[in-house]
Amino acid sequence: MRIHLTVWRQSGPKDAGRFITYTAEDVSPDQSFLEMLDVVNEQLIKKGEEPIAFDSDCREGICGTCGFMVSGIPHGPEPGTTVCQLHMRKFKDGDSLTLEPWRAEAFPVIKDLVVDRSAFDKIIQAGGYTSVNTGGARDANAILIGKSIADAAMDSAACIGCGACVAACKNASAALFTSAKITHLSLLPQGQVERTTRVVNMVAAMDDAGFGSCSNEGECEAVCPKGISLKNIATMNREYWKAMLAD
């Protein structure tokens, strides 16, 4: 296949960026999207040109490192898929695709398709940790947790922090990401001690990072590669107001 790419190129955070067009030749339908970009970069290096910068790590859809917009859709057109697991068979010969980074004030561009997502780290850090001295590692069944609660906690814990929810939201809100982390711990017995302080601190960190407010339109859930539910946002709001009333 031949794929036409219009890629956002930006040398650094303070530089002006622009779109540049490339053509990927002899693209195999079995290649992943990032493998296709690897081939394009090899061709650019041979020409003495700067390769396209993009984030990747595991390339198995579990680490959350990769991510950029593919023709206006975070991670591309395949639902429930990270861009590293998106395959070229999803596209047709001669397709024209536009690649650009996440657009959010809290995610400043580092270079090309790479953005700084350390704002997510600050939200996680604000959540703190469980301060109870539990001693050595306990047996897995020492604390009994009902299946429905365990399943709900694991559904929330599936968030990989890729930032697609922020990129899709017109307000650049991180409510889905933050709520998934809050819900995960609020459901489990180990997370009860810091339950109220955790939600207040994480929401404050989210606001301080410059993320927008949630208007509950659902774009975040629609593009989330792990299918994190909007119900988490309702849980976060409920936990927050409970904590504020208790305080």
Delimiting residues of CATH 1.10.1060.10 domain(s) in the chain: 117-246
Q: Considering Cα of 65, then 12, then 37, then 101, what sign does the dihedral take?
A: positive
Give the model confidence (pLDDT) of 35-83 as tens digits.
999 999 999 999 999 999 999 999 999 999 999 999 999 999 999 999 9
Q: Are strands 96-100 and 73-74 parallel, antiparallel or unpaired?
A: unpaired
Regions in the chain scoring below 70 on pLDDT = 130-135, 137-138, 140
- 10 Å CB burial of residue 147 (0-12, 13-18, 19+) is exposed
Instruction: Give CA–CA dist 52/66, Å, rounded.
Output: 14
Q: Considering Cα of 64, then 66, then 72, then 77, what sign does the dihedral take?
A: negative
Instruction: Give me the CATH code for the 3-110 domain, please.
Output: 3.10.20.30
Fold annotation for 117-246: Fumarate Reductase Iron-sulfur Protein; Chain B, domain 2 (1.10.1060)
Helix (H, G, I), strand (E, B), or coil: what is residue 110? strand
Delimiting residues of CATH 3.10.20.30 domain(s) in the chain: 3-110
pLDDT at 57 (0 to 100):
94
pTM of the predicted protein model: 0.91
